[in-house]
Amino acid sequence: MHLLCRMVCEDVPAETMYDVLHDTEYRWRWDTNVIDTFDIGKLTVNADVGYYSWKCPRPLRYRDVVTLRSWLPMGNDYIIMNYSVKHSKYPPRKDMVRAISIQTGYMIQSQGPNRCTLVYLAQVDPRGSLPKWVVNKSSQLLAPRVLKKIHKASLKYSDWKKKHNPCFKPWLFPEQNTLPSIPLSELSIQRAESLEKIDESDVIEQLEKEDSD
C-alpha cells in the first residue's frame, strides 16, 4: 500500500501537531482505532522502538506492528518517520496479523504562528491474503479520516496537556526519557518473507459479496 496525503490546518501551530503525534498518553484520547500502544525502549535521543496495534474495518482481522521511529525538528518544521523491526520479546501474536511498515511518517511544515501543513506518507504491507482492491479501498477511506482526527485532536491538545504532565515532553527534552536503552544488535529489519502467511480467504469472500451487492 502506497499512500500520500496532505492537509492544511489553518488553526494549529506546527509545534502543537508535532506534540500530538508524539504524545502516547494523549493518543488514547483521539485514536479510536488503537488497541494498544507503548514505547519499548530508546536507541538514541531521537530514536525509539514502539508497539502499536489497531482495529481494522470489519470483517478484516486486527493488525499490529513493531517499529523503529526517529524524529527531527528542523527549525519550525518537523519530521517523524518509522519502519518495521523485529524484536525477540515482541513476536507476532496469534490473534493479530503482523503488518509491515516499509516507510511511514509525517512531515509538519509551519506556515505561520498558528498555521501548518501536515503531509502523511505510508508504504505499508498489511500482510494477510487481502487482494489489492481491498487494501486500496480501505486506505482511501481511512487516511483522510485519520488526518481529520489528528487535526481535531490538535485543537484540544493544549487544554488537555495543561492538566496532564504539562512539562513532560521527552521528544523535546531527552533528559526526561526514562525508557531502557536497546542495543541495535537486538533489532533487525522485519522482512515479509519471515512472517507467517495468514489465511483471510473467508474475509475476502465476504467483502467480494458485499461489494457486488
What CATH number is attached to the domain comprising 145? 3.30.530.20
Look at 10-14, 59-63, 141-145 and tell me which has the smallest mean pLDDT: 141-145
Task: Quote the pLDDT of residue 131.
Answer: 63
Domain presence at residue 50? yes
Task: Quote the pLDDT of residue 130.
Answer: 65
Task: Quote the pLDDT of residue 137.
Answer: 67
Contacts of 86 (CB under 8 A, 6+ apart): 66, 187, 188, 189, 190, 194
Q: Indicate whether 19 pLDDT > 80.
A: yes
**pLDDT interval class at 86 (50, 70, 90):** very high
Q: Indicate whether 30 pLDDT > 80.
A: yes
Q: Indicate whether 198 pLDDT > 60.
A: yes
Domain presence at residue 13? yes
**pLDDT interval class at 134 (50, 70, 90):** low
Domain presence at residue 171? yes
From start to end of the chain, where are the E strands? Answer: 2-9, 34-44, 47-54, 63-74, 77-87, 97-98, 100-110, 116-125, 187-189
Domain presence at residue 107? yes
Task: Please list, residue by residue across 87-105, b when 16 or more beta carbons sit within 10 angstroms of its beta carbon and e when fewer do.
Answer: beebebeeebbbbbbeebb
How many domains, the chain? 1
Domain presence at residue 211? no
Task: Quote the pLDDT of residue 206.
Answer: 54
Distance of CA 154 to the CA centre of its chain: 16
The average pLDDT across 64-78 equals 95
Angle of CA points 16, 22, 23, to nearest 5°: 85
Query: For residues 99 and 125, is the Cβ–Cβ distance under 8 A?
Result: yes
pTM, full prediction: 0.86
Full domain range(s) for residue 88: 2-176
The average pLDDT across 200-205 equals 56
**pLDDT interval class at 172 (50, 70, 90):** very high
Domain presence at residue 199? no
Domain presence at residue 195? no
The verdict on whether omega for the bond into residue 59 sits within 30 degrees of 0, i.e. cis, is yes
Domain presence at residue 117? yes
The average pLDDT across 114-120 equals 96
